[in-house]
Structures are given as C-alpha cells and as structure tokens.
Amino acid sequence: MNYNFNEPVDRSKNFSVKYDELKKKFGRDDLIPLWIADMDLKAAQPVIEAIQKRAEQGIFGYTSRPDSYFDAVCNWQERRNNWKINKDLVGFNLGVVPALCTAVKEFSNENDKVLFLKPVYSEFFDAVENWGRISLTSELKEENHFFTVDFEDFEEKLKEDPKLFILCNPHNPVGRVWTREELVKMGELCLKYNVMVISDEIHSDLMLWGNKHIPFASISKEFSDITITCVSATKTFNLAGLQASSTVFPNKEVKDKFEDFWQRMDITRNNCFSLVAVETAYNYGEEWLNQLLTHIEGNMIYVKEYCEKNIPQIKTRLPESTYLMWLDCRDLNLEGDELVRFIVNEAHLGLNDGRSFGANSGFMRLNVACPRGTLEQAMENLKLAVDRRLK
C-alpha cells in the first residue's frame, strides 16, 4: 500500500513525551517539537492491524514469547544485513538504553573507564556515570561538517585501560555510517587492548541514499567474540512506547550474566502488544520502511537546501543514516544558553542542544521524521528569527 507521510497527525491526546513535556524541557509549550527521536508519523498498517487484533481478544495477561519472535529478529538481520545470528544467543530487553546500562554495570566495575566517541547520544554519558564509572571520550574529527574517527587519539584513549568501548553504529547525532575499513580499525584496536565492545545499532535500519549497515559483530569471529550488540524495531518502526529491544551476545556465559540482572528484577517478558508489533514489523513492515526512507531523504534535502538559500548562517550536511540532522549554528555567534534561548524563544522550536551530546557550543540536533508541512513551518520560523536578529 502507499503511505502518506505528509498527513498531519494530531498527537494532542497521544500522551506524547515529545509534545506533553515541552514545558518541562524548554520552559514553554508553544513550540514545534523536533527533538526527541520518535516520529510524528503513523506506524505500518500491518503493525496497527496486529495490535488491533490482539486488543480485540480482550485479555491482557502475562505474555509468553514464542520462538517465532526471535526468528523474526534473526531473519530480519540476515535479510537486511547479511548477518546470520545464533538465535540461542539473542535476548529480550526493555530498550537499547536499559541494555547499555546493564552491560556497563555487569561488565565493568566502579571507577572503571568506559570509552566512546563524541559528540554522541547523551544517554551514553548517563549509562556510564550513573553506575559510578568514568566516561572516557575520543572526539570525532570534523572537516566540512563530515565526521571521522581520530584513530591516533582513539588508540591513546585505549591505552588508558577502559573496560568497555560503546560504539554508536550508525552514529547519533552526526549520522555517520561507519565503513568496513573504519569498523575493522576500531575492532583491531579493541582486540589489541583487550576491550569489550558494546555496539548500539538502534539506527541501523534507517539507512539513507543506498548506504548499507555493517553489524560490527558480523565482520569476524574475533569481533563477534568481544561484542554485545543492541538492536531494536522501535526506532525503525516508531514503536518506542512499546518498550522492546533485542540483544545479541557473543556466548552463553555473557548472556547468562547479563540476563541474571533482569531475572532478579523479574523483567523478562514482552508486554502483549510489543510481542505482536515487533514480530509483525520485522515480517511485514519492509514496504512501509522503504517508503519512509524516501520521505526522510526528501525532508533532509528540503532542510539542507532551505538553509543554503535562506539561512546561510546555519549549515548542515545530509546524514548517511538516521532521521536526525546536525545543525552547525556557530555563525549566528550565539554562545551556550544564548543559542538555546534564541531557538526556543525567538524561533519557537524545540531542538536538542548539541552540548548534551558532548559537543562544543553552537550545534543543534533536528528531527525530520514528520510531515513536510511541519518542517516548512519550522524552517520559516527559524528564518524569520534569524532575519530579525540580523537587522
């Protein structure tokens, strides 16, 4: 079927964090919210119908997980990424962030260092520091708004004996799809310094412009043996509120240690709706996803071209993956909180402050997973605000 991603969706009664928590986060609620990474777009019709059919049963008791659930996860990875997974080494988790937090807790000790590249998804810092570990970061190199790994610095940080390296693959917020060469170089260095890898691959299905995702653990047995991989249908198919992700382990010993943490809290089951939604999305959601990616690409081209023509003080580059754009606002000459106040109070937009990702002042993250009309209004707001400032 054909999906109309430009159809406005009223989320006023959706209990949406993106809308309902605007005042809590930004101090006002009259903003166009383009921050938290979910979509203002309806899910795939097969998923909606599967949830409706499940709801019509009228009983929502404790939910068992059939073998077909992890079959769907494994078949998706093999079909999309040519990664054949041992189903016995796949586990359920409430989400990728809870999985990251658990991996940090179970495979490092208090005051250990945990390495990651920055700027990066802000929860990486929380996942490390909330357990009393120390964030050790290697800053990405930037040239013409394109980011690469500074391998010299990366190796120097590995010499500081971090217990874990958390890899964001593909990378949020700068939208990089790491090449095989880059991944191999990271992996070889982690092997050299005996560092376990936690690979966050939640954005891996959102490949743009024909880019291909390479699961880190798929590259070699040596890499697989040191890697825990976190994947999820929730980012791909806009199901975050259903709270379900999958974790791929290198062996049974690591899986048992990880899952023992959740067993002790008796959190091991899907809810009844996430069970059918995830399985249906992986089995029947590809048509929707392919159309979504075309829509995302169009929105990104629109933002980039609009800025080039109308707001040259704000620069961006088309990401290789994700539905998030990294805006360089440094030419506005607004420092720190001043830039945030400008975006919120003058442009009336809710964006993510780049500093929350460990970036220097002057960057903002923009979510384009919305109808085109929403972006058009947002860009007009931004242009008018910049024009008023420059008068």
Q: pLDDT (tens digit, 9 = 90+) per residue, 233-292?
A: 999 999 999 999 999 999 999 999 999 999 999 999 999 999 999 999 999 999 999 999
Q: What is the DSSP string of 69-91?
A: HHHHHHHHHHHHH-----GGGEE
Computed over every residue of the chain, the mean pLDDT equals 97
Q: Using CA atoms, how far apart are residues 255 and 248, in angstroms rounded to an integer? A: 8
Work out the burial of residue 139: count CB atoms within 10 Å of its CB; fewer than 13 is exposed, 13-18 middle, 19 or more buried: middle
* DSSP annotation of 64: -
CA–CA distance, 304 with 290 (Å, rounded to integer): 22
Q: How many CA atoms lie within 13 A of 146 on its CB side?
A: 5
Per-residue model confidence (pLDDT) at position 45: 98
Q: What pLDDT is attached to residue 250?
A: 98
165-187 per-position pLDDT tens digit: 999 999 999 999 999 999 999 99
- Domains in the chain: ranges and CATH: 17-44+286-390 (3.90.1150.10), 61-284 (3.40.640.10)
Question: What are the structure tokens assigned to 312, written together?
Answer: 């040259």
Asked whether the whole model's pTM tops 0.75, one would answer yes
Residue 390 scores a pLDDT above 90 = no
Whether the predicted pLDDT of 335 surpasses 90: no
Whether the CB-CB separation of 279 and 49 falls below 8 Å is answered with no
pLDDT single digits (tens) 349-383:
999 999 999 999 999 999 999 999 999 999 999 99
What is the layout of strands, in order, in the sheet containing 245-248? 90-93, 245-248, 227-231, 196-200, 164-168, 113-118, 134-139
The answer to whether residues 258 and 103 touch, using CB atoms and an 8 Å cutoff, is yes
First vs last C-alpha separation in the chain: 49
Q: Can you tell me the distance from the alpha carbon of 202 to that of 182, in angstroms, rounded to the nearest whole number?
A: 19
Contact 245, 94 (CB under 8 A): yes
What pLDDT was estimated at residue 187? 98
From 133, 129, 132, select the one nearest 113 (Cα to Cα).
Answer: 133
C-alpha–C-alpha distance, residues 233 and 360, integer Å = 32
Q: Pinpoint the alpha helices (H) of the chain.
A: 17-20, 22-26, 45-56, 67-81, 96-107, 123-129, 151-158, 180-192, 221-224, 233-237, 252-263, 272-284, 286-310, 337-341, 372-390
pLDDT at 237: 98
Tell me the one-letter amino acid at 68.
S
The answer to whether 121 and 101 have CB atoms below 8 angstroms apart is no
Tokens encoding 103: 């991996």
Nearest to 259 by CA among 251, 246, 268, 250: 268
> Which one-letter amino acid corresponds to residue 77?
Q
